[in-house]
Amino acid sequence: MEAEEMKALLRRVRDNIRVTKVVATRSIKGARGDSFAGFSAKWNTVQEDGGQDLVHVGDEDGAPGMTLKEARLAHYMVSMQADIAAYEAALAGGNLPVKVCLDAIQAVKANYGKLIQKALGQDSDG
């Protein structure tokens, strides 16, 4: 397979991938134990058991799921919430001092904000 054929195949696969679920889990280790948080977000799609009619589910083109770009943005959003929830759980459980928790949450928001801005600025799903 030639290089151009490989690139075209990769582009076609990338453009047709549809993501239906994003999952993010976090663990914060503290002096008094570990604090966990997990989030799962499902796009408007069907489960494999066929509980809905595929014709009526999906985006405007009829394709169920998210594009890679949409999935990346969803992952950042869900991951940020999991990070924040884990820090809050660690604080509530006495595993982190208040200042450490608040500083960490501020950094999490800033870092994910940068990732989201970068992803929004990209022209393709690559």
User: Per residue in 93-107, pLDDT tens?
Assistant: 999 999 999 999 999
Cβ-contact 64, 54 below 8 angstroms? yes
- The count of structural domains within the chain is 1
**pTM of structure:** 0.72
116 part of a folded domain:
yes
Residue 6: pLDDT band (50, 70, 90) is: confident
Structural domain for 93, as ranges: 24-121
Q: What is the per-residue pLDDT for 57?
A: 46
Q: Is there a domain that residue 89 lies in?
A: yes
**Does residue 12 sit within a domain?**
no
Contact (CB, 8 A) for 19 and 5: no
Q: Say if residue 90's pLDDT is above 50.
A: yes
Sign of the torsion formed by the C-alpha atoms of 49, 52, 55 and 60: negative
> Within the chain, where are the H helices?
3-16, 68-92, 98-121
The chain-wide mean pLDDT, for the chain, equals 83
In a domain, 14, yes or no: no
Inter-residue contact 17 to 62 (CB < 8 Å): no
